[in-house]
Chains A and B, each alone.
Chain A
Amino acid sequence: MSQLQAIALSCERGGRPLFAPQSFTLGAGQAMQIEGDNGAGKTSLLRMVCGLAPTASGEVRWGGQAIAEVRTAFLRDLLYLGHHLGLKDDLSALENLQAASVLAGHAVDRESALQALHAQGLATRAHLPLRVLSQGQKRRVALARLLLSKACLWVLDEPFVALDPAAVHALQQVLHNHLEQGGLLLFTSHQSVNLGSAVVPWRLNA
């Protein structure tokens, strides 16, 4: 049932096509790593898949239906993590995580949020305002959303940026588990990622 289809998606920036029309299908348990040079349109492609950016042409389908038609169901199944983490500097990691989970449509209690932060190695930082955390720690707070998420389609824009090797390893494990459970994963990364054979590389060329 959960299947993501992109049909002849193309994107324009300043009247110039960013990449040739892209068509792909992603099924349960599959991951796709979008690759491309800087400015190739990786982020734009992810934003179009989520419905954040308008498509110049083409269509995105979720479970066989255009995402505009099944918008609420699609958004409930979607977790998007972009360049901007959507975290508030004045709130603590715990408050940020709880606010984000309510917005995502699956409110979590304090205990499970604390547990997710603990799993990210932030147990002692859970109550500190986010502005005192380092860049990598902020990303870990954002990635704690993955542990709490009930969404089956994860769209992650450069999830491995600013993470130390241990955190990279832990994230790979989380992504691997997600795929094992039949989740879908669409992500961009400049580094090679070890998620087993499930990852399909997808190269964006102008």
Chain B
Amino acid sequence: MSAFFALVVRDLRLAFRRKAEVLSGLFFFVVVAALFPLAIGPEPATLRHIGPGVLWIGALLASMLTLPRLFENDWRDGSLEHMVLSPHPLGLLVLGKITAHWLVAGLPLVALAPVLGLQFDLPPDALSMLALSLLLGTPVLSCIGAIGAALTLGVRGGGVLIALLVLPLCVPVLVFGAGAVEALGSGLGAQAHVSLLLAMLLPAVFFSPWACSAALRIALE
């Protein structure tokens, strides 16, 4: 486990020394969420209706933005070779990298979303459900995205390819994430949606490091 935490700390440290890369994703999220009310008009009922979906799509695309660099820097400077040649299980190390990615690129989205939700006139309970659904959903996006990043390592134009590979796989997360807020608003209760998000999170955390490890080993050959 010490290697897991060491890798998380290292990646967080790297992220804080390269703030531009981290902030680009957050800035993108804020801009997208701010543009919608401007373009659609100030009708509160419409905004309230589209708000959860817009914020979820914004979060999804923002977390895609930082994905291509997840393994690429390590691959270029040889750190990835050292990870593969480490006596620690590669899956655990990969999980450390995914965790660091989520802490840097996913968690701030969760914190920002309720603030941005105010622009869409979302009521307080919808705002907290939005934050909860993102809290459960963004780690899944990081896990699925990491598989795409590992598979496209070293491929030219990898960024677009990741989006093509990963976005379709993220559809269920998007549906149930945005749906949770919707369901709460319509009085149905969001428990089923939250349970489904949780049910997606567990296998994603379990299988993604394993799939990434296999892809990374192939990329190094």
Q: Which residues of A are interface residues toward B (Cβ below 8 A)?
A: 50-54, 72-73, 75-76, 78, 80, 82-91, 95, 99-100, 102-105, 107, 129
Q: Which of B55-81 contact A (CB under 8 A)?
A: 73, 76-79, 81
Do residues A103 and B83 form an inter-chain contact, with CB atoms below 8 A?
yes
Segment at the interface with A among B43-51, B85-93, B147-155: B85-93
Cα–Cα, bound, A78→B78 (Å): 16
Q: Is the interface of A mostly helix, strand, loop or mixed?
A: loop
Inter-chain contact total with CB atoms closer than 8 Å: 79
Chain A residues near B14 (CB-CB < 8 A)? 88, 90-91
Per CB-CB distance, the 4 closest pairs between chain A and chain B, nearest first, are A84-B78, A86-B78, A102-B6, A105-B87
Chain B residues near A91 (CB-CB < 8 A)? 10, 13-14, 17
Say yes or no: is B220 at the interface (Cβ < 8 Å to chain A).
Answer: yes
Interface residues on B, range: 20 to 34
Say yes or no: is B18 at the interface (Cβ < 8 Å to chain A).
Answer: yes
Do residues A75 and B221 form an inter-chain contact, with CB atoms below 8 A?
no
Q: Sample 16 A-B pairs with CB under 8 A, ordered by A number.
A: A52-B84, A52-B221, A72-B87, A76-B87, A80-B82, A82-B78, A84-B76, A86-B78, A87-B79, A88-B79, A95-B10, A102-B7, A103-B7, A103-B86, A104-B87, A107-B2
Do residues A75 and B87 form an inter-chain contact, with CB atoms below 8 A?
yes
Given contacts A82-B81, A85-B77, A86-B82, contact A99 B6 (CB under 8 A): yes
Chain A residues near B83 (CB-CB < 8 A)? 103
Do residues B81 and A84 form an inter-chain contact, with CB atoms below 8 A?
yes
Chain B residues near A103 (CB-CB < 8 A)? 3, 6-7, 82-83, 86, 88, 93
Shortest CB-to-CB span from A159 to chain B, Å, is 14
Cα–Cα, bound, A161→B14 (Å): 28
Chain A residues near B77 (CB-CB < 8 A)? 84-89
Shortest CB-to-CB span from B95 to chain A, Å, is 14
Chain B residues near A107 (CB-CB < 8 A)? 2, 6
Chain A: which residue is nearest B79 at the CB level?
Answer: A86
Chain B 6-45 near chain A by CB (<8 Å), digits 1 or 0? 1100100110011000000000000000000000000000
Extra inter-chain contacts (11) besides given A52-B221, A75-B85, A86-B82, CB under 8 Å: A52-B85, A52-B220, A53-B221, A75-B86, A80-B85, A82-B78, A86-B79, A89-B77, A99-B6, A100-B82, A107-B2
